[in-house]
Copies of this chain bind each other. A is one copy, B any other.
């Protein structure tokens, strides 16, 4: 028995056996494949005489409840391979698994009528299993191999208590409501079109406005922290990607080259090489360093169609990229600066919960061991000077240098890839990126690659889900919507719209001939932070009635007061 499994994993794995027993009761000819515990629950893959429908799940679940209520024992036995093969003679998938097991150390578990090849451990009896629920069915190839039979998989979730199960189901329902693909449609934020191609995103005006606000904020912050912002082309000669090593090491993620005047050109997968050429466009002295070069650079990387997903896994994306060209003795201070910038950005967007991971030298590496040691010590010193706790991932660095990764937790507690800071000893060498030192000689520069948001696409997906589409006022595509109650209030509404627009607020007026309730629901669906309702009373007092997207009624307010309220929400970025 392996003690590394947690009690929750044991419960979940045992629930898979309970489900298998229930399926066996319904389908005596069922062939069984595998049934492990997974995050939040379990699944089992079956080969069944007919396709399951959603209606089957409650029936199977009901039989499972009978099994858990009857507190059946899990009985373990140890067999030789011959004995196991005899026992599972009718179960081809099990036989295939048995072939791969050691001769004399094959364990099986029996639960009621169902006996499974299984290493365990399990609960003692099915009454210990706690709360579970079957979620959905899916097709799954035996061993994940498209040339093998397609099996039917049933997914379930399981927890120790009913309360935990319900909390989980609620969280899942909430996550579904916040799904950026769903909100992307509902809020008219972005689209992906078969006509253009999978993984290539069109940003609609609403989504593009949020992106632009994020980009503007990003540019301002970078400029004020001494970054020079640049633009470099999306294509370039393949030769430079051969020189960099990308063609050799990452070829399966690169697009096919195209021919221009008899030369091969490539869509850029990274922004580094353009930045290096700008750096090298003149001699650089040690006195000029560090040089910080940033770009909102759109890159294209090939991903298999099957892994593409909404905005989080795409083929074209805009990195908030930067490269810092510095001397070795500047690494520490530069990393401190990057972390401080990253912290400021994360806090601004409401991510207060994150963890840092320092990945160190792998077995194969570029540069010397001394250089690695120095750089890793610089990263450590940076983290420590900021009083930050971090995990270490020994040997987890890329071959070209150590790095710091930040993982964000969103409002739902789910992890997102956050800022990364990557030291690079490889490219300066391959492209001879130098500075003139105090000694008058040429020295290789140290490069630090870093992103703070990652990519605009993934970060935007994260924001959408984090805020559930209800962007804070400073990021809302429409900050306030004016709702005239009747046609006679339209003129006042339009004048008010003009006034607020002149104050640089993003406002519109819904002057359709619809009932007020309808228009308010519409604004709430669009997650507009402020609804400004205009009727006789409001016109008479030269004000508006303010309603929040939460449903909260603020009541009648003067125009000045409303402007001030919105302005203060914008300025505080809350």
Contact = CB atoms under 8 A, between A and B. Distances in A.
Interface string A484-525: 000000000000000001000000000010000000000000
B204 A278 contact: yes
B239 A200 contact: no
Given A196-B236, A278-B191, A305-B261, A231 B256 contact: no
Contact of A277 (B193, B206, B234, B282): B193
A553 interface: no
Given A195-B240, A230-B205, A277-B193, A200 B255 contact: no
Interface stretch (A49-57, A90-98, A208-216, A369-377): A208-216
A201 interface: yes
Contacts of A208: 228-231
A204 B277 contact: no
A302 interface: yes
Most buried by B among A258, A267, A298: A258
A244 B282 CA distance: 44
Contact of A204 (B195, B203, B233, B281): B281
Contacts of A235: 197, 200, 255, 267, 300, 316
Contacts of A195: 236-237, 239-240, 273, 277
Interface in A251-284: 255-261, 263, 265, 267, 273-274, 277-278, 281-282
Contacts of A557: none
A115 interface: no
Contacts of A231: 201-203, 208, 211
A168 interface: no
A232 interface: yes
A258 B258 CA distance: 6
B256 A230 contact: no
Contacts of A232: 196, 202-203
Contacts of A211: 231
Main secondary structure of the interface of A (DSSP, over half): mixed
A191 B87 CA distance: 74
Nearest to A243: B195
Contact of A233 (B202, B265, B501): B202
A427 interface: no
A244 B196 CA distance: 13
A338 B501 CA distance: 20
A293 interface: yes
Contacts of A196: 232-233, 236-237, 240, 273-274, 277
A389 interface: no
A503 to B, nearest CB: 12
Contact of A302 (B200, B240, B260): B260
Contacts of A3: none
A224 interface: yes
A219 interface: yes
A229 B235 CA distance: 24
Contacts of A316: 233-235
A489 to B, nearest CB: 19
Contacts of A265: 197, 255
B228 A501 contact: no
Interface in A356-380: none
Which are the 6 A-B pairs with shortest beta-carbon distances?
A205-B228, A196-B236, A200-B233, A203-B231, A256-B258, A258-B258
22 contacts: A191-B277, A193-B281, A195-B240, A195-B273, A196-B240, A197-B237, A197-B260, A200-B233, A201-B231, A202-B230, A203-B230, A206-B228, A208-B230, A208-B231, A209-B229, A216-B216, A234-B267, A235-B255, A235-B267, A235-B300, A257-B258, A267-B267
Given A202-B281, A267-B267, 19 more contacts: A188-B281, A195-B236, A195-B239, A195-B277, A196-B232, A196-B274, A197-B235, A197-B236, A197-B237, A202-B274, A203-B231, A208-B231, A212-B229, A234-B234, A234-B267, A235-B255, A235-B300, A235-B316, A256-B259
